[in-house]
Every structure is written in structure tokens, then in C-alpha cells.
Structure 1
Amino acid sequence: MRELVTVQVGEFANFVGSHFWNFQDELIGLAADPLGDAVFKNQHLNMDVLYRSGETQQGVLTYTPRLVSVGFKGGLGSVSARGTLYNDDVDTPSDTVTWRGSVATHYTEPCKKNLFLQSLSEEEQENLVDGKNSGRGEIEDKDIIECLESDVTFWTDFSKVHYHPQSLYQFVGSWVDAQEFDNYGIGKESFSWSLQGEDIDERLRFFVEECDHIQGFQFIVDDSGGFSAVAGDFLESVADEYSNTPVLLYSVRSPSSSNVLRENKKQIISRDLHDAISFARLSSFCQLYVPVGLPSLNRSKAATHLCIDDQKPYHCSAVYAAALHSIGLPFRMEAQGPTTDSCYVSGAVHVNDMVRMLAGQGRQNMVAILDVAMPAPTLLEKHLGQSLLGSLQPLTPEVKEDAEDLLALESMTAHGVFESGGDRASVSELKDQISAAYEGETVRPMLCHLSAAQCPLPVPLPFPSIFGNLVGQHGQLLATPISGVSTRGSLDVYSIPMAARLRSSNAVLPFIERRLTNLLRHGVQGSSATPLLRSWGFGREELEDMGESLSKMVLALNPHSLSSSDSD
């Protein structure tokens, strides 16, 4: 087995991760349901790639994500940092008193569980008493959905997953307002890796050392503010200790992070430098860097059949998590033998294989574009598969449309897609039709790897109500809208077909060039921002090295570029 260890750094990254793990938990439950859909029973996915088996001191078997999550102190809401499975060692007040002076006690009321978390607690209690699942008591599903739509404050508010005590790390003594934790410098100031990093390292080591053959690290990082600095130090430590283990990094941002009021030129320069330094530092410690997060998801082509509230992280993170789930399926597909043509999955790869495929002609520290079709359309009998390719839209910002790159490299995953007769397309049909569609393209990528599966994306109960009225019960795109409704949720849509794609293409050049230009203009050539950069811990020599690294990225994608250390 080739395990993956997942790391989530930052509040929005944990929102994305919460949805991601909900998908996995739903898949596990559907596979075990004797009355469930057969398509979920024949997933041919090895969940042990993402999960670990364990046992509590009471002998209760556990199955928890192989995960390290980093966030603010107090950012777990009503959930304990030790999770809910291993509460045998919960701290209790000591009877020993050594202090003789006056004592002031400051007590904060714990966060109350919302209806969804209450329903989970009730269900677990019923399982303990009856030995089986007998429902959610008095709490109805529709009330749970209304509660989540109106009031999600923490990423744990909609998490249906049990976490290991080593998974959830909170800043010790850090009570910084999330709105003020908005740049690389404050992240460096608030978090000292030399003082707090060893605890995070130990948590990561706990999961790595029990792996048989780790295939890589999957980082999800909110790089819009101070957590970028925390992630940079974490990645540097990982690169030192696990130098031969590839890192796949998703840099995620919520639309709200793009709507910061910029009152003056100084604030604009600070934000531009943050983006440049964050990108330069994070990309230098991973093999594949994938920016995810549009300034407005709701107004994007990716949300054609969705109804997104950009101001709700609960909404946006669900779409990004679905795309990450889909593009990561090949990492845990069961590899088929040379004479076996599975009708369920095809195209298993490991993280290192993915990196090598997208690296092409020696590209390193690649920046890849993430595209998604959610839901993926039905395969057509005419113009085979063309609508599926055409429906893929970028979740990566600042991407050049209609870029022609003959050296482009792509890795695509399609799963749960329907064929024109109304049944789910077989894996061979998917492969044949999508391959035919690529053959018909005027400008084709140099390489396109395809992974396919019949199992769709399950829609768990706490998933937001973001589907439009043209989305059917199993994610089919309908010819006429459902009357009387504008949005549909998990009580209406049970699963959806998905397609996602990673592209190594010169279409990402605007994203890199903007950060390079700002780094050179404000950091290397300018002097007005020097005090700011020094307060962030960066000197001229280090900034020049960053500029050189970004220039090499640009040149790798555009050999005719004039970008250099003396560019404007």
C-alpha cells in the first residue's frame, strides 16, 4: 500500500478539508450499507491510503484520517482538540494548590453544538445502546440543513468525521483576529517554528512512521494571510526530513479574501508583496503547486449549474473540496493487472507518477491549473465527449483563456458520468469517448493521462444546498428546470458525476508573471517597501533568489520570455 498523509494549514484550508473528509466518510458508509447502491459497493478504492486503523485504550477499533490540521486557538468550535474517540485522558482540575496569593478565574462558556452535531451525538448514543443505527431521534434532516445554511461559523460545524488526537493542532496562546491575520509578516510574528514547530513535527511524524510505503504529502494551505508563513516553515521542515517524499500542494483561497478594502497605496503594496512572497516560498518546497480560489466563484463559468454565496466559506469550500477529491482518486485506485480490464476503475497513479507526467521536459516546482466540471455532463453520441471537455472550467485564478500550448500536459479524472441512454458510462466508454474528443481538438496537449471510475461523488447530509434547478437526483443535467425551487441540497441530490483536470500549461503564466513583477518592482528594485520586508524577515539577497526562481518558472513555460532579475 502507498499511503498519503494530508496536512491542512489555515482556516479556509480546514473548511475545504472538512468537506473532503465528509466525502470519504460517506463513501465508507455507502460501501458498508447492505441496501446501498451497488456502484458504491464496487468502488475499487483503497481507503487505507488516506485512513489509519487504530484502537482506543478501551479496545474500541477506530478508523481515522491520516491528517494534521493547523488552525487558530478556539477555531474548533464545540469540538475537542482531542477529537471524540479518545476522550479517556481528558484533563481534569488538579486538587493540588501551591499558589498562596489571590486567584482570578476567567471562564468562557463552551460553544454549543448545532443541530447537526447534536444529531451525530444522538446517533452514536443510540448505536451504543441498541448496537445499530436507529435514526436521529427528534432532529429532522431538513432542520439540520436549514441550520447549516443559516449559521456555520467553524469548519467543525459540518464535519461528520472522527479525528485522531494527534490530528488537530491549535496555536498555543494565539488569539489573533482572523481579519487581522492577513499577511506573511504577522504570521511570522505570531508563530515561531523554533518554539511551536516541534509539536507539529511530532504529530506529522506520528502518522508518517506508521506508513509502510508513503507515496507523498497532500498539503491544503490557506495562503491568503499569516498561515502562509506557518505553512512555509512547515514545508521547509518536511523538505529537510522527508527529502525523497513528493509534496502536492493546493493553495486555497476563499472569495472573501479577495475583497479586502485597500485604502491606500501602502496596503496595495503589502498585499502584492504578500502574494509574491507566499507563492515564491511555498512553491519552492513542493513538487506540484496548484492555486485554487477564484475572486468570485458564483460569477465564474465553473458555477454554471451551481448557486454559490461567495461570502459563505461553507459554500465555496464544498466546490473546491469536490475537485480535490476527484483529482486525487487515482492515488488510491486499485491497480489492475496487465490482463485485467476493470469495469470500475482505470488509470491508477501515485503522486510521484503524477508529478513526472506533468513535469514534461524537466519542469520542476510546477504550477498546475485545476479545472472542474461539476456536475459533469452526459456523454453524447455525436461529437463524442466534446461537451465533457468543454464543460471543464478553471478554479485557478488569473488563467489565460484559449491559450495554445503544444507542450501542455494534462491529467484528467472522470467518474460517475452518464452515457446518453441514462445509465452510467462504463470505464471503457469513458476512455474511448474522451480520447476521441481529444483527437478532434484543433490544439491538443502533448500528453493527456485519463483516470476513470464508475463511482460518482456522494453528497453527504451536511453538504450545502448549492445545486441549481437543472440538476437531477443523481446529478444528471435536466432539459427543463424543476419548478418551484431555485436551489437543491443533499435531500434532493444524492450523488453527482464529476470531472477534474490538472494542466501544466503556459495558460498559468499571468498568475506567475504578476507575482514576479510585483516581487521585482516592490521588493528587489524598490526601496519604499524595504522596511516592511525587513520586518517580515527578508533581506535583499533572499528576495533576489526568489525573483530568480520565479523567473525560471516563467522561462520554463515561455522560453521566449525576457523575464530576468532586471525585469520591470
Structure 2
Amino acid sequence: MCSREIVTLQLGHYSNFVGTHWWNIQDASFLYNPTEAQQKEKEVDHDILWREGRTLKGEITFTPRLVAVDLKGSLNTLKQEGVLYETNQQEDIKWSGDITLHKSTPAEKNAYLTELEKEDQAILEDKGRLPGTSDVIYDDVDMKDSSSNTTKDTVEISNYAPVVFGKVFHNLDDVVRVWSDYLRVYLHPKSIHIIEQYSHLNSLHPFDIHGAGHKALEDHEARKELEDRIHYFSEECDSLQGFHVLVDTHDGFGGFAAETLQHLQDDYSSKSIMTFGFTPSNLPDDTAVRRANRILNSVLSYHRCFTHSSLFFPLSLANSLWKTIGNYANFPQLDYKLIDYHTSAVLAASLDTVSMPYRTVNPIHMCDITNNFNSLGKKVGSMSTALPFLLEAESNFVDMIQELEGHLPWLSITPHCVNQSVPFMQSVVVRGIPENIPRSPRGLYSSCRSVNDTLQVYLTENFNSCLNAGTVVKSPTKVCTPFPHIFRKNINKHGLVSTTERHQFEGIDSVPMMTSMQSSPDTAQLLNTLYTEAKKLNIRKHARYLECGLEEDEYQEILQDVADLEKCYRPKSDMG
């Protein structure tokens, strides 16, 4: 059966942090032992987000169907073209006179990346050649023909158990500077696109306002290169269903995304575009200018995202973003730091779980979600997550659901949405919950004989005026290395709450999770607070935005569009 593929775009440094964790989580779920793969029921169709290729020497590659965009100097030790198909060619110097060649000192790999390199070297010595690497020429042979015996659960390119997953690296918090510092997976040579006009962390020429992103794509060659990369991955799909777009909404990448989303909407008008807008929790908040820039960038980015997307989800671990950043999501069993490496991991695990309904072996179509959610103009959604779902080692799903006693099992990761209202509709995913249902459940759950039965009763009883869709996935979320060590000591190796503390050198392999993707009246609060704060700003006093082409009348129209969208989420009684 042909998979309905999705192409993923990551636009921005923080979005690449989130995306890196997301691909690592998926990679950790691959089964490397063919015997184990045959015995275990296949749940997730990895063909939807990943692609196969083959080198001329017959080596199979398996990489994300991804275009990742960042600034110059943001890759650290990672080469832009990746390492799978490098040719090790020397630079061709045509100058005939005297030359002086200056070479910068290469960045050093951290302990985690060094361990990965040793692992690859061991395979090189064992097989005589690193799978999918060396100096071969890449040939885009389609691996979907029936002659291939490869499955996505037994990936030939990595047909070995990655021992590094079983090791605990306690110092990654201190050494991770960019997203490639913990990238586990191989990327296709066409995946990484660098914006050459701007440098990462350059305070003299910052990429910090929405208009800078527009300017970055004014160059014809730069735009063509980006579009060619998108076309490369989309045109090889047999049945493309749409795009995931991860975007930073607080800086210039919001403007870059606006141009990119418009291109997707124009060239792929029949496809779904699900956009996730990220804001880091640790943005500088010490000056009025920085706060104003954050508000202006956000209102401009949000407007473009919900205008050019099928569905848009603003996401952050900060519950408040406009006047000040703060009131961070307080997960009862997490001790995370306000660093990108930590906060992006929580968002990535949530994204991996919430997207399960259209990534399983028998999925619904992405457009089924986007069309239902954006009915009557509701194109902005919210998301909540339980990481981990609080399940005691000796308990079961029925007991834990009943112990909630009206409290929600999840926390919001959409700023300014606090789950105070019953949603219009929601898609709830439960994963990694053992099927140890008690023989004689009590009360409302007396007829439940499975996790799915329990979930359906819970949704019906607690959200009876809401259109609910519930999905149960048996496999838990993989949070082994290089996922950060953010779980408290009473969470055991399998993500369950235990009475015995975990050893300090023992990592966590996986956790159960529960997520909710919602269209909710609470979204009105998000849009109202953003509109209120943005309206207070006199755009004529922000010359850099005007210099990049933003006009005062256009800004007022954007504010009005946000205000009009807010009305879609108000109950009719509030609209008089």
C-alpha cells in the first residue's frame, strides 16, 4: 500500500532544535533486529515522514523528508551537505598568482557525537564500508518497488543496535550549543538550506525582525534554491498529502516562513499545510525594544501563518509571551531547565505523539483533521500534553483516569490558552499504556475491557458537548539518549511512577504520554491578548519594520484580521 507522504520544513534555529529531537525520537523507535520486527505488530508507518534511497553500490539510505533552514554559522560540526554522500573533493582554486590559504580551526565534537563517530567506525571495520557512506555517487533510486525486501522497521542502513542509546551523557546540558550537537540521524544532502546574508548570533547584523525574513528571499537565486529543495522532496512522493511546517515566530524566520507558506499555498493548493509556530522560553526580555519586537514579530508571523496554512498551532512552554515571558508549564514529574535543548525536547515529544493519528499504519488523512478543525474560520488550534502520563508502576489506566476526579491529565503548551473551556473539537492520543485493565472496573468504566474503551468513555463523559476523536498507540515515546535528563528520580526506566528512586546513572528508555490537539474557545484569549498588546504599539516608531516594507495601513489591516479571527472562537452569547 502506498504511503501518503508528508514533507517537513523547519524554518528557524529553535524549530531545528525541536525538529532534531523529533527525528531522534522517531529514529529510536526503529526496530533493528529483524526477528523482533517480525514478532512485534507494526503501528507507525515511517514512510510518511521518511524517504528511502539507494547508492550506486546498492546501499540503502533512510533519511527524513526534510528541508531545514538556518543561518550561516549555525551548524557547528555538521556539514551542510551532511555526511552520507560526501565526495571529499578539494576546493578548485583557479587563481594563477601567489595565494595564501587560510583554514579555520574545525569545531570539536562533543562526547556524544564522538561516541556516534566511534560507533560508525566500528561498523566500517566490521563491514568494510560504513552503510550508505564513503565516496560513492548518490543515485536517487526509488526504493518502493516490490523487489526490495527492506521494511522501515528493519532499516538496512542501520541494521545494528545503536549502543550509544544505552549510554547516559550527563554533560550534554553544558555542551549543546546548536541543534546539530545532538543530531542522531543522517540528513539528505538537499535537506539543509543556509541563509547566507545573516550569521547566527550576530548582534551587529541581527536576523531579529519579521521583515528581515522577507528580504532574505528577495534574491531570486536564494528563493529558487529553497523552492528547488522543496520540489525535490515533494515531487518524488507518490501520494503527497501535505506539509509539516515548524517555524520560529519571534524573529526574522517568521517573515521567511510567510514567503515560504505562500509558495506552498500557491504551488500545492490541494495539499494540507499544518504549521507549528514556536517561541523559546528563554528569550531576552530586559528592554522595551526587545519586548516590542517580540510582539510585532509574533502578530505579523501569526497572521501570515493562519492565513497561508490549513491549521496553525502556536507552541511554547511559556504560558505568557507578550508583556513578559513567564508562568512556565509546570509538569509534575519534570525538572527541565529554560534552555533550548530542554524545552524543545518537551515540545518535540508532544509533537511526535499528537501527530500519531495520521502517521499510523491505518491513518486518517491529514486533511481530515485540518478541514474539521478550521471549520467556520477557526484556523488556530491549541495543544496540551502529559509528559509523562502519570501512571504508577502497579496501577492501570482505569484507576489513574478515575483518580483525576475532574482534573485534566494534561497541561497546555499553547501560550495564553489555559484549558478553562470545553473545546469545540479535539483529537486525543494515548500511547504506551499497558493493557492491564482490572477484571471488574467500577462505576462508569465497568464495561471497559481495554485502554481504548477507557479512553472513549473518558472523552464522552468529560467532553460530552465536544466532537472527540481518540487514538490509542501501544508503543510509548522513546526518550533515550540524546533526549535530555529532565525526568524526576521517581520515574523508572519505563516512564512509570515508582516508589523506588532511579539510579543516577540509569537513563529512561520510554514514557507513556497523552496529548490533546484542540479547537477551543480559549484561543480567543490568545488572540485577544496579542491584538491588545500589538495595538498599543505605534508602528511609525519602529523604523526598521517600515524600512523592510511594512506599511502603516497594512499593519492596521493585520490587526483587524486578528480581531476578526478572535470572534470565531467566542461563544455566541458573548458576541451580543
* TM-score, normalising length: structure 1: 0.84
Q: Secondary structure at the match of 1:280?
A: helix
Tell me the distance in 2 between the aligned counterparts of 1:383 and 1:171.
49
Q: Taking structure 1 as reference, are residues 133 and 238 closer, same or farther at Cα in structure 2, changes over 3 Å only?
A: closer
Q: 1:377–1:418: 8 Å Cα contact kept in structure 2?
A: no
Query: 1:119 Cα shift?
Result: 1.6
- Alignment partners' CA distance in 2, 1:353 and 1:115: 44
Map 1:145-184 onto structure 2 (within 5 A).
Answer: 145-177=169-201, 180-184=206-210
1:508 alignment partner in structure 2 = 523
Of 293, 307, 313, which residue of structure 2 is paired with 1:290? 313
Contact map agreement 2:69 2:194 (CA 8 A) in 1: yes
- Residue aligning to 1:412: 428
- 1:113-132 maps to which residues of 2 (within 5 A)? 113-131=109-127
Equivalent of 1:261, from 286, 310, 331?
286
> 2:17, 2:340 within 8 Å by CA — same for their partners in 1?
yes
What one-letter code is carried by the residue in structure 2 that aligns with 1:494?
D
Shift of 1:450: 0.8
How far does residue 209 in structure 1 lie from its aligned partner after superposition? 0.4
Q: 1:140 offset after TM fit, Å?
A: 11
Distance 1:500 1:547 in 2: 31
- Unaligned runs of 5+ residues in structure 2 are 128-158, 320-324, 440-447
Counterpart check, 1:241 vs 2:254:
no
What does residue 343 of structure 1 align with?
Answer: none
Instruction: Check whether the contact 2:245–2:274 (CA below 8 A) recurs between aligned residues.
Output: yes
What is the CA-CA distance between 1:118 and the residue it aligns to? 1.7
CA distance in 2, matches of 1:511, 1:498: 25
- For residues 382 and 544 of structure 1, what CA distance do their matches in structure 2 show? 52
Aligned match of 2:95 in 88, 94, 97? Answer: 97
User: Counterpart amino acid of 1:181?
Assistant: F
Indicate the residue corresponding to 2:11 in structure 1.
Answer: 9
For the 8 Å contact 1:418–1:497, the answer to whether it is kept is no
Deviation for aligned residue 1:177:
2.3
CA shift for structure 1 position 482: 1.0
Distance 2:409 2:256 in 1: 36
- Any residues of structure 2 matched to 1:352-367 within 5 Å, and which? 352-360=367-375, 362-364=376-378, 366-367=379-380
Change in 2 beyond 3 A, CA 1:169/1:267: closer
Displacement of 1:254: 1.5
Q: Structure 2 CA distance, aligned partners of 1:422 and 1:35?
A: 32
- The 5-angstrom pairing of residues 251-330 of structure 1 reads 251-257=277-283, 259-262=284-287, 264=288, 266-295=289-318, 300-310=328-338, 312-330=339-357
Q: How many Å apart are 1:122 and its aligned residue?
A: 1.7
Alpha-carbon distance in 2 for matches of 1:352, 1:450: 17
Amino acid in structure 1 at the alignment position of 2:293: S
Note the alpha carbon deviations across 1:161-215, whole angstroms, 9 max, x for none: 0110000111124325256432213434455353411101100100000001111
* Structure 1 residue 473 displacement after superposition: 1.5
> How far apart in 2 are the matches of 1:178 and 1:306?
33
Structure 1 residues 186 and 319, CA, compared in 2 at 3 Å: closer, same or farther?
A: same
* Equivalent residue for 2:490, pick from 456, 470, 475: 470
Distance in 2, Cα, partners of 1:381 & 1:506: 29
Alignment of 1:36-115 (within 5 A): 41-88=40-87, 90-94=88-92, 96-98=94-96, 100=97, 103=99, 105-115=101-111
SS at match of 1:42: coil
- Matches of 2:549 and 2:531 in 1, distance apart? 19
Aligned to 2:551: 539
What is the alpha-carbon distance in structure 2 between the residues aligned to residue 422 and residue 299 of structure 1?
38
Find out whether 1:553 has 2:565 as its counterpart: yes
Residue aligning to 2:385: 372
1:435 corresponds to which letter in structure 2?
A: Q
Distance 1:177 1:275 in 2: 20
Q: Secondary structure at the match of 2:246?
A: strand
Q: Label 1:330 to 1:173 Cα distance change in 2 as closer, same or farther (>3 A).
A: same
d(CA) in 1 for partners of 2:60, 2:555? 50
Note if contact 1:114-1:147 (Cα within 8 Å) is conserved in structure 2: no
Aligned to 1:492: 507
3-state DSSP of counterpart to 2:522: helix
Query: Which is further off, 220-229 or 553-562?
Result: 553-562
Note closer, same or farther for the CA distance 1:213–1:484 as it changes in structure 2 (3 Å cut). Answer: closer
Structure 2: which amino acid aligns with 1:75?
S
Contact 1:221 1:252 in 2 (8 A): yes
On the 8 A contact 1:302/1:374 being kept in 2, the answer is no
Distance 2:200 2:161 in 1: 43
Residue in 1 that maps onto 2:154: none
CA separation in 1, counterparts of 2:570 and 2:333? 35
d(CA) in 2 for partners of 1:535 and 1:352?
38
1:280–1:549 contact (8 Å) kept in structure 2: yes
Per the TM alignment, residue 484 of structure 1 is displaced from its structure 2 partner at its CA by 7.0
Letter in 2 for 1:496: V
**Contact persistence 2:32–2:161 (CA under 8 A):** no
1:198 and 2:262 correspond: no
CA distance in 2, matches of 1:120, 1:383: 39
Q: Secondary structure at the match of 2:44?
A: coil
Residue pair 1:2, 1:214 contacting (<8 A) in 2 also? yes
Counting aligned pairs with the same residue, the percent is: 24
Deviations 1:118-175 (A, max 9, x none): 2222212221321385986xx9965x60232321012111111011000011112432
Equivalent-residue separation in structure 2 for 1:3 and 1:299 (angstroms)? 37
* 3-state secondary structure, aligned to 2:72: coil
**Cα distance per residue 1:42-91 (max 9 Å; x no partner):** 23211111111112244321111100000011211111111111112x44
Is residue 20–residue 325 contact of structure 1 (8 Å, CA) maintained in 2?
yes
How far residue 435 of structure 1 moved from its aligned partner, in angstroms, is 1.9
Q: Provide closer, same or farther for how the CA distance between residues 385 and 8 of structure 1 changes in structure 2, counting only shifts above 3 A.
A: farther
Aligned-residue offset at 1:384: 4.7
Mean Cα deviation higher: 171-180 or 279-288:
171-180
Task: State the AA in 2 paired with 1:260.
Answer: D
The runs of 5 or more residues in structure 1 that have no matched partner are 336-347, 564-568
Q: CA RMSD in A?
A: 3.0
Q: Which residue of 2 aligns with 1:482?
A: 501
Match of 1:437 in 2: 458
1:449 aligns with 2:448: no
Q: Secondary structure at the match of 2:199?
A: coil
1:373: how far off? 0.7
Tell me if 1:33 matches 2:49: no
Question: Which deviations, in whole Å up to 9, do the C-alpha atoms of 1:218-266 show, x marking residues without a partner?
Answer: 0111112111111111111111111111110111122112x4211x4x5
The amino acid that maps onto 2:116 is: L
Cα distance change of structure 1 residues 474 and 422 upon mapping to structure 2, 3 Å threshold: farther
SS at match of 2:408: helix
Q: Partners in 2 of 1:210 and 1:428 — Cα distance?
A: 44
Return the alpha-carbon distance in structure 1 between the equivalents of residues 318 and 398 of structure 2. Answer: 36
User: SS of the residue aligned with 2:450?
Assistant: helix
Cα distance in 2 for residues equivalent to 1:540 and 1:508: 26
For residues 10-32 of structure 1, what are the alpha-carbon distances to aligned partners after superposition, in whole Å with 9 as ceiling and x for unaligned? Answer: 1110011111001111111xx23
Aligned to 1:393: 411
**How high is the TM-score relative to the length of structure 2?**
0.83
Letter aligned with residue 79 of structure 1: L
